[in-house]
Structure 1
Amino acid sequence: MDTTWHPGEQALQEAVGVRERMAEIGAQVVRDHMPDQHRELFAKLPTMLLGAIDAAGQPWATMLAGPPGFVTTPDARTMALATALDGQDPALAALRARGPGAPVGLLGLEPHTRRRNRMNGRLISLSSESLSVGVVQSFGNCPKYIQARDPLAWDDTPPDLAQPLDAALDDGALALIEAADTLFIASASAPVPGDGRSDGVDVSHRGGPPGFLRIQRRLDGGIALWMPEFPGNRFFMTLGNLLRHPRAGLLIPDYARGELLHLAADAAVTWNDEVKGLTLRLTGGLRRRGALPWRWSEARLAPQFTAAPPSAPR
């Protein structure tokens, strides 16, 4: 029996004809420990992406930062992050409220080399200066669709107070979305009956040419985003989660100015021969100016966008 993939993931694997193959290789590509090459990458990173889910069932995504070496792996089944943890961060607030045992999704991405590896686990401990996570799943990702950037300078200026946003957002948030070439999305597998919680959280990367996130203004005054789904590794972890638990946490970083835009959304998966992607109806969010201390170089677009951009519905 294949226990690597849950029913949402299996349904999409079946839709593209790779279900049998994924059942065969699942245990080989999704491990219960971090391989040495993953641990080596994590130790070099200037940032770490993190996903969590709050008590109401809303996933949140965030980006934590530090000097290279702030992420350590004391052993192959434990990761620790040593960095000041902002109390205004919605993903960290969810972990504090849930406490040890809360599900955590982690993505280590090195933008200038386009290397990335993921680790999903359970919170062991959390303080104002550090957190640690025990491994449940560890797996690699290919470098496709990642825009290359170099960390240039560290800005110690304290972040501004977080600015809450309603479903209509504001002009600054809309401008950031329109210019974005990178998005991170947190999702959760099926909630545990009776308590609104989840049995797993994941955070993943999505990239595209600036403008790949298409803003749709709703009749009720709110905002929805359309995001095309480009061909990937056929794991379908994010889309499979959203089929089971259709709520997402989005993170759009402003790499030049250090702002993080956190968005909560209801998600609908479209998957047919003509159109593949996500409609994300925004329900609110936060703007955190100065929350990302690293300042970065201009993006160098992924080869998939400079050579033959993947097609996307209009």
Structure 2
Amino acid sequence: MFHEGELAVQDRAGVRLEAARLSGMLAPGGLSRGAAGWLAERTLAVVTGRDAAGRLWASALTGAPGFLAGLGRTLRVGATLPAGDPLHDLPAGQRVGLIAIDFATRRRMRVNGTLTRVDELTIDVAEAFGNCPQYIHPRRLEAAPAAPATFTAPGKLSPADVAAVRGADTFFLGTAHPVRGADASHRGGPPGFLRSDGDGGELWWPDYPGNNMFNSLGNLAADPAAALLVPDFTTGRTLHLSGTATVEWTEAGTGAPDEVTGRRVRFHPTAVVAGVHPALTAR
């Protein structure tokens, strides 16, 4: 069932009936054998959760095929969040969201549930569902190198960070609902679709047409906490941004050429962690 935030955004967008046809995707359930088999072949996932201070972040998990192992209600993640990653010390017992993605075949799957263990990341799966291939740029991640990920916490975006944001064609969005928990989703578009106003004090992007369920925007309608993970697949550099976001409604077709839905998301970062994640280089 959709929660009140998702229903409110669906109503505002005039797609309540279209979304209702997909509501079964959100029915409680675990990982089927097909879903578990697909996850077992992946080398990249992104998790959304809260750190020990309650701040929302999105972080990358990488490993060789098989590092995502599960069936039914249990998903085990054979990877750690290294020291310096904003979710390195994420507490157990919280609701988390995870998205696994294969850029080469343009497929992705979301898995949401409760984090039950942190010594070996283990998720009690509440729901798992696939998303369409829209806006996924085909690329192949390089084989995971031996070099570990490293992180710094500059506190705010540098001019180089702002340039990286403006050149990105992919980012991951973390949101959360007060009861239903966290969610991780993928956003893609032409380079420059993620905009920065001025010195990066605010970012925004047009909300492109999708499946009309509005899981992310619905969460924002209920709780403005948001997190962005912006990867640079050429260098392996990552930007982790935590802050708040709001949905802005405009008149469709009155902005830039890609603003066709009349919806924007405006994000205000309040914390920044920069990383170098060699496993996120691609060709």
Normalization by structure 1: what TM-score?
0.82
Conserved? CA contact 1:255–1:296, under 8 Å:
yes
Deviation readout 1:244-282 (Å, 9 max, x if unpaired)? 111211001121222221011221101243331111112
State how far apart, in whole Å, the 1-side matches of 2:272 and 2:45 are: 20
1:151 aligns with 2:141: yes
CA distance in 2, matches of 1:9, 1:171: 35
Indicate if the aligned counterparts of 2:170 and 2:187 stay in contact, CA closer than 8 A: yes
- The AA in structure 1 aligned to 2:107 is R
Counterpart CA distance in 1 for 2:282 and 2:228 is 20
Checking the alignment, whether the CA contact within 8 Å between 1:52 and 1:92 is kept in structure 2 is no
Partner Cα distance (1:251, 1:223) in 2: 16
Unaligned regions of 5+ residues in structure 2, if any? 253-261
Contact 1:64 1:292 in 2 (8 A): no
Counterpart of 2:174 in structure 1: which amino acid?
A
Matched, 1:89 2:89: no
Whole-angstrom distance in 2 between the partners of 1:261 and 1:237 = 23
Output the CA distance in 2 between the equivalents of 1:233 and 1:91: 29
SS at match of 2:184: strand
SS of the residue 2:281 aligns to: strand
Q: Note the C-alpha offset of 1:5.
A: 0.9
Deviation at 1:26, TM superposition (A): 1.4
Counterpart of 2:155 in structure 1 is 166
Quote the offset at 1:58 in angstroms. 2.6
Whether the 8 Å contact between 1:31 and 1:137 is mirrored in structure 2 is: yes
User: Residues of 2 paired with 1:165 and 1:109: CA distance?
Assistant: 28
- Kindly tell me: are residues 29 and 267 of structure 1, through their superposed partners in 2, closer, same or farther at Cα, counting changes over 3 Å? closer
How far off its partner does 1:206 sit?
Answer: 0.4
RMSD: 1.9
Write the distance in 2 (CA, Å) between the matches of 1:292 and 1:103.
28
Count of matched residue pairs: 274
- Structure 1 residue runs of 4 or more that deviate by more than 3 Å after TM superposition: 20-25, 28-31, 54-57
- Amino acid aligned to 1:80: R
- Give the distance between the partners of 2:19 and 2:203, measured in 1 at CA: 30
**8 Å contact from structure 1 (residues 250, 262) kept in 2:** yes
Classify 1:254/1:222 alpha carbon distance in 2 versus 1 (closer, same or farther; 3 Å): closer
Match of 2:174 among 158, 166, 186: 186
Alignment pair present for 1:234 and 2:212: yes
Q: How does 1:72-151 map to 2 (within 5 A)?
A: 72-73=69-70, 75-93=71-89, 95=90, 98-99=91-92, 101-127=93-119, 130-151=120-141
Map 1:136-285; keep pairs closer than 5 Å: 136-160=126-150, 162-167=151-156, 169-190=157-178, 199-217=180-198, 223-274=201-252, 275-285=262-272
**Separation of aligned partners in 2, 1:118 and 1:287:** 25
Farther off after superposition, 78-87 or 32-41 = 32-41
TM-superposed deviation, 1:31: 3.8
Among 13, 20, 28, the alignment partner of 2:10 is: 13
In structure 2, what residue type is equivalent to 1:179? G
Shift in CA distance, 28/222, structure 1 to aligned 2, threshold 3 Å: closer
Cα deviation code 1:87-137 (max 9, x no counterpart): 2211232x2xx32x211101011100001111100012112xx31101112
Distance 1:29 1:85 in 2: 28
Kept after mapping to 1: 8 A contact 2:97/2:112: yes
Assess, with a 3 A threshold, how the Cα gap between structure 1 residues 70 and 277 changes in structure 2: closer, same or farther: same
Following superposition, the deviation at residue 64 of structure 1 comes to 0.6
Q: Which residue number in structure 2 is paired with residue 51 of structure 1? A: 48
Deviation at 1:234, TM superposition (A): 0.8
Contact 1:121 1:133 in 2 (8 A): yes
CA distance in 2 between counterparts of 1:170 and 1:260 reads 13
What is the letter of the counterpart of residue 101 of structure 2? L
Q: Equivalent pairs: percent with the same residue?
A: 35
